[in-house]
Amino acid sequence: MTAVLFDFSGTLFRVESTESWLRAVLTETGHRLPGPELTRLARALEEAGALPGGTAPKEVPADLAGLWAVRDESARQHRAAYTGLSRRVPLPDPALHDALYERHMTPAAWTPYPDAPEVLRTLRERGIGVGVVSNIGWDPRPVFRAHGLDRYVDTYVLSYEHGVQKPDPRLFAVACEALGADPRRVVMVGDSRAADGGAAALGCRVHFVDHLPVNRRPDALLPVLDLVV
C-alpha cells in the first residue's frame, strides 16, 4: 500500500459530548441554567441530532429531509441542516443555535483518538501518503493544526469544497490523484460503511472503526499499520 485515506469525525477525531458542547456555549455567552435544566436541554439536542459529529438524529423532520440528504455538499446546507435540527429544541436565547454551530467548528470541541498521533506519525516515517476525505461543511484543517497533526496530512478532500459527498467515488478519486496513488494500493479508513465504503468502487481496501467516545476506543487505528507493511 502506498497511501492511506482517513475520515475525520469518528475516525481520527471525536467531537465533545452534547452536554459539554451546550455548557461551553452557555458559559461563553453568559447564560446560566440549573444543572437539571442543562441536562434536559442537552438530552433533547442529542435526540434531535443537532451536534455535527455527534449522535445521529432519532428522526429527521420531514421539512428537513431533503436538505439533510445533501447537507455535506456545501457550507450553507450544512449549517442550515444542523441549526434546523437545533431549533427544534427551544433554548433560552435564539442566538444560541448559531453559537452552538460555531462552537462545533473550534479545535476545543474535538479530541483526537489516543492512537491517532502514533498512527499518523508512523505512516509519515514509512513514507506512506496520508489524505483526509470527509463529508463535512467546514474546514477541519485548524483542528489538525491545533492538535499538532496537520504535519502528517498530505491532502484534504472535503465534500463541501467539491459539492460531492461520500460514498460518491469521485471524492476518493480526487484524494488518490492528489497523493499520486493507484487506488488499488490505497486503504480507506472510516467509521461509516455507507459513506466510506464507497472507496471500494475504485478498488481501495476499506478498514472500518467504530464511532465511539475517545475513552472507549484506545487503539482501533493501530491495525492500519499492519495493512501497509
Q: Is the pLDDT of residue 229 over 80?
A: no
pTM tops 0.95, yes or no: yes
pLDDT digit string, tens, across residues 10-63: 999 999 999 999 999 999 999 999 999 999 999 999 999 999 999 999 999 999
Q: Write phi, then psi, for 211 (nearest 5 degrees).
A: -85, 90
CATH 3.40.50.1000 occupies which residues in the chain?
Answer: 3-14+109-227
**Cα(99)–Cα(81) distance, integer angstroms:** 15
CATH placement of domain 3-14+109-227 = 3.40.50.1000
Q: Find the length of the chain.
A: 229
DSSP string, 133-158: EE--SS--HHHHHHTT-GGG--EEEE
| pLDDT of the residue at 73 | 98
